[in-house]
């Protein structure tokens, strides 16, 4: 899951950032309104964790308003010291999926992120199943016909990204951003994408999985069981 953390409190931001990275999320940080606004409208994220109060001329609510116009599919969790009902209502009315009051336990944030992913993409199921493929996100384990499949962290993230967007064409640029975040801007070509897809595809097929990865000429790839 690719996440944008919008938080100006350095100590809290560092704590959340380190924890989420240890849980294998790809996380970027924006600590002021201009940076948060630019990232939210330029790049695509699975989820934004947004503080309401930000320095720099705007609020987290302004970021959410702009985000939902361009990327309405992106999930949003608001984290705020404000605990009033009115603030919750405003945030949820703007399209936020959840509201977490500071201070909070990092494990609770993680649980809400995982629940949000399951709810949005997989009907709330704790396991992700696509024909002979089964993923257990809690353990980051992948099974093919009940046999454990050994994947690198990037291969796992790529497979989960494919399954979260099954039957949709994913641009090479979107795949690169999902796997590398801001570092994708420094790439001269997409060779690393081709390498990861080739390796993932081979591992799936070698374990008896059908070939669901379809190249879409000149655009990217699609993970589908449809011809």
DSSP, residue by residue, 92-112: HHTT-SEEEESS--HHHHHHH
Q: What pLDDT band is residue 156 in, cutting at 50, 70 and 90?
A: very high
Provide the 3-class DSSP secondary structure of residue 83.
coil
pLDDT tens digit sequence for 179-224: 877 666 666 667 888 899 999 999 999 999 999 999 888 888 999 9
Asked if residue 223 lies in contact with residue 214, where contact means CB atoms within 8 angstroms, the answer is yes
Q: What percent of the chain clears pLDDT 90, i.e. is strictly above it?
A: 41
Q: Encoding tokens for residue 81?
A: 């010291």
Least confident of 87-96, 108-117, 145-154: 87-96
Q: What pLDDT band is residue 137 in, cutting at 50, 70 and 90?
A: confident
What is residue 198's predicted lDDT score, i.e. its pLDDT?
Answer: 93
Which fold is adopted by the domain 2-122?
A: Rossmann fold (3.40.50)
pLDDT tens digit sequence for 20-36: 988 888 899 999 999 99
Bridge-based pairing state of the strands 169-171 and 220-223: antiparallel
pLDDT of 124 strictly over 60: no
CA dihedral (219, 220, 222, 226) positive or negative: positive
Whole-number Cα distances in Å, 206 to 146, 161, 172, 180, 189: 14, 21, 24, 27, 28
Q: Which residue, among 162, 167, 161, 158, has the nearest Cα to 224 in the 3D structure? A: 167
What is residue 174's predicted lDDT score, i.e. its pLDDT?
Answer: 84
Q: Output the furthest CA–CA distance in the chain (Å, rounded).
A: 55
Q: Where in the chain is the domain with CATH 1.10.10.10?
A: 128-223
Which pairs from 93-97 meet CB under 8 Å and 24+ separation? 94/61, 94/64, 94/65, 94/68, 95/64, 95/67, 95/68, 96/50, 96/64
Q: What pLDDT band is residue 84 in, cutting at 50, 70 and 90?
A: low
Q: Is 109 left (phi over 0), alpha (psi -120 to 50) or beta?
A: alpha
Q: Where in the chain is the domain with CATH 3.40.50.2300?
A: 2-122
Asked if residue 132 lies in contact with residue 208, where contact means CB atoms within 8 angstroms, the answer is yes
CATH class of 128-223: mainly alpha
DSSP state of 32: S
Q: What is the pTM of this model?
A: 0.69
């Amino acid at each position: 899951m690719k996440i944008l953390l919008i938080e100006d409190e350095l100590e809290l931001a560092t704590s959340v950032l380190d924890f989420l990275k240890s849980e294998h999320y790809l996380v970027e940080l924006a600590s002021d309104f201009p940076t948060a606004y630019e990232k939210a409208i330029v790049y695509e994220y699975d989820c934004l964790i947004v503080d309401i109060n930000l320095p720099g001329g705007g609020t987290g609510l302004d970021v959410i308003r702009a985000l939902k116009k361009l990327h309405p599919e992106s999930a949003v969790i608001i984290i705020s010291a404000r605990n009033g009902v009115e603030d919750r209502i405003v945030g949820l009315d703007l399209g936020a999926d959840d509201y977490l009051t500071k201070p909070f336990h990092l494990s609770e944030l993680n649980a809400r992120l995982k629940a949000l992913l399951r709810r949005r993409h997989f009907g709330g199921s704790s396991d992700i199943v696509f024909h002979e493929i089964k993923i257990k996100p809690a353990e980051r384990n992948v099974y093919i016909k009940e046999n454990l499949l050994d994947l690198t962290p990037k291969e796992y993230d790529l497979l989960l990204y494919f399954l979260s967007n099954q039957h949709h064409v994913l641009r090479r640029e979107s795949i690169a951003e999902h796997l590398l975040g801001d570092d994708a801007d420094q790439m001269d070509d997409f060779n690393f994408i081709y390498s990861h897809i080739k390796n993932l595809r081979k591992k799936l097929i070698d374990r008896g999985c059908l070939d669901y990865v379809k190249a879409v000429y000149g655009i990217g790839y699609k993970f589908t069981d449809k011809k």
